[in-house]
Amino acid sequence: MSKFTKPDRYIIHCDMDAFYASVEQLKNPELKGKPVIVGGNPKSRGVVSTCSYEARKYGIRSAMPLAEAFRRCPGAIFLPPDFRAYKDFSSRMLKIFYDYTPLIEPISLDEAFLDVSGSIGLFGPAPDIALKIKERIKQELGLTVSVGIAHNKFLAKLASDISKPDGFLVISPNEVQKLLDPLDVGRLWGVGQKSAERLRGLNIKTIKDVRSLTKDNLTGLFGSLGEQLYLLARGIDNRPVETGRRTKSVGRENTFAADIIKLDDLEKSILELSTDVGRSLRREGLKGRTITLKIKYNDFKAITRSKTLDVSTDLDEIIYREARLLLEGVLTKPVRLAGVSVNNLTDDDEPQLSLFGNHDEGKSKLARTIDLVKDKYGEKSIIRARLLNSNTDTGKKKN
């Protein structure tokens, strides 16, 4: 490889630092410099959404049970999530990105890929654009963002991840292999815990070890993932930055204060989650065709069940109806967590052809009227009769 390989693409990956916790510290400056844990009441059975870097010193991490976080740092400040604030900061963050390129792929509320290949003539080299973005996010939002700059998505994300917090790292083509080789296999996109364990069992621990295997070895072991690993281990990733769809799925889940053993209680929770999901879909102008139910039992075993509809929907009632059908035969053990999500999303202004006409028009109008009331008077201003006295909530997590 020539020493001065000129990349044909310039990708920036941005990921806010300790996002929910940093927003909480901005809302209440007294929390600055303190261990802040977002997730809810430490006596509940929910999990940590995220925590400030001050809390990470105690080994606290996302998805850890709140009770465990409390054991590690009883003096920490525990807060419920405030999605409205996070969404607001997220859209202000995106607005800054759009000043530099239209080619943006948001991955979650706090993370996005930007393809700035066509912006360099106007705004200067990619690292300068990334620095400008960092500066503006600090000045205009008061938050720190980590940025990675490279010629593909895998390397750009790796660069922001390994330079966190307040990170800034450029990976140029001629230094890719040196940087990748010593890293753990878990850093490769697509390698989850299970594949990582399988690789380590074969004494393949680093990316360099993966590189020592042939493409046939890898596809024999991992099927189509094997081919991806072969390429990624060499720093090759041709995935484009995909604009268009901002959200891949909209979901809510709930860890219960006490395990649920009665179907009626589980149905109530599913109704509440479906109502939240419907509202979020309408707020984002989205509809989805696939409804997924997730159940985690008290032994931590989890199952998911999905149903794909003929026509996409954003209506609580339909989401609930399908999720409830998916519940059939599920309550075999006490349930610790339930989740409802909708994916396979389209924008809600896309035309929909239904053989039987649109019977849901009335329901849709009603749902939107209820949204308006809730926007004006608060989420609890209108509640379904079935949910009155429902007491299963311990803090919902968005996914």
Does 16 sit near Mg ion (CB under 5 A)? yes
CA distances from 259 to 159, 255, 386 (A): 41, 9, 20
Shortest Å distance, C-beta 399 to ligand TTP: 7
Considering only residues 54 to 73 of the shown chain, the ones binding ligand TTP according to CB under 6 A are 62-63
The binder of 50, among Mg ion, ligand TTP, none, by C-beta within 5 to 8 A per type, is ligand TTP
Does 86 sit near Mg ion (CB under 5 A)? no
What 3-state DSSP class applies to 12?
strand
Does 164 sit near ligand TTP (CB under 6 A)? yes
Considering only residues 335 to 364 of the shown chain, the ones binding ligand TTP according to CB under 6 A are none
Residue 111 bears catalytic tag? yes
37, containing H or E segment: strand 36-38
Region from 107-115, 185-193, 200-208, 244-252 binding Mg ion, contact rule CB under 5 A: 107-115
Q: For ligand TTP, give the closer residue by CB, 144 or 206.
A: 144
Q: For ligand TTP, give the closer residue by CB, 172 or 247.
A: 247
Among residues 11, 12, 13, 15, the one that binds Mg ion under rule CB under 5 A: 15
Query: How far, in Å, CA of 150 to CA of 155, rounded?
Result: 6
Radius of gyration of the chain (CA): 23
Contact status, residue 307 vs residue 327, Cβ threshold 8 Å: no
Shortest Å distance, C-beta 361 to ligand TTP: 35
Does 153 sit near ligand TTP (CB under 6 A)? no
Does 20 sit near ligand TTP (CB under 6 A)? yes
Residue 59, Ramachandran bin (φ over 0: left; ψ between -120 and 50: alpha; else beta): left
The site string for ligand TTP over 316-335 (x = CB under 6 A, - otherwise) reads: --------------------
Among residues 105, 110, 115, 316, the one that binds Mg ion under rule CB under 5 A: 110
Structure tokens at 129: 């654009």
The binder of 49, among ligand TTP, Mg ion, none, by C-beta within 5 to 8 A per type, is ligand TTP
Task: For residue 2, give every residue at least 6 positions away whose Cβ sits within 8 Å of its Cβ, in sequence order, or none.
Answer: 174
Which of these is catalytic: 54, 111, 267, 272?
Answer: 111
- Strand 286-297 versus strand 335-347 pairing type: antiparallel
Strands (E), 186-334: 249-260, 286-297, 302-313
Does 322 sit near Mg ion (CB under 5 A)? no
Among residues 13, 14, 24, 50, the one that binds ligand TTP under rule CB under 6 A: 50
Shortest Å distance, C-beta 53 to Mg ion: 11
Does 19 sit near Mg ion (CB under 5 A)? yes
Query: What residues make contact with Mg ion under the rule CB under 5 A?
Result: 15-16, 19, 110
Write out the residues near ligand TTP by the rule CB under 6 A. 15-20, 49-50, 62-63, 108, 110-111, 164-165, 397
Which positions are annotated as active-site residues?
A: 111
